[in-house]
Amino acid sequence: MRKGEFIALVAALGAVVRVTALEIQLPAETARLIESPLPGYALATGMCYTCHSVDYFKMQPTSARAYWQATVTKMQKTFAAPVPDEAIAPIVDYLVKTYGAEKSTAPKPGS
């Protein structure tokens, strides 16, 4: 096969074989973080939903503050989550008091 014929064959195959993107429709997120008057609630709602569904928070073990601190810091430092340093403590406080080992110390909405 000559070079010209080969190029024509490749061009013809390229016209026949088209790669199309697969479109995936995900269901709308309906779950929400547990509401709280803690400042970390608004921060977590605004920052953590970017990458995580609420199911991620619910499936975490009832862990101590050190676990949540390490987890939020890992999101910022290792995974480059756009979480400013000053937002880490309030987010950790919200998570540990709402989903973690300090659940009973979380203030109730309206308190």
Q: What is the CATH number of the domain that holds 36?
A: 1.10.760.10
pLDDT confidence tier of residue 106, bands split at 50, 70 and 90: low
**Is 69 within the bounds of a domain?**
yes
pLDDT digits (tens, 9 = 90+) for 43-92: 999 888 878 888 888 777 778 999 999 999 999 999 999 999 999 999 99
Could you list the residue range(s) of the whole structural domain that residue 80 is in?
A: 31-105
The answer to whether the beta carbons of residues 105 and 97 sit under 8 Å apart is: yes
Could you tell me the CA-to-CA distances from 74 to 14, 23, 35, 41, 57 in Å, in that order? 45, 31, 24, 19, 15
Residue 111 in domain: no
Query: What is the pTM (predicted TM-score) of this model?
Result: 0.68
In a domain, 101, yes or no: yes
CA distances from 103 to 36, 70, 82 (A): 12, 18, 26
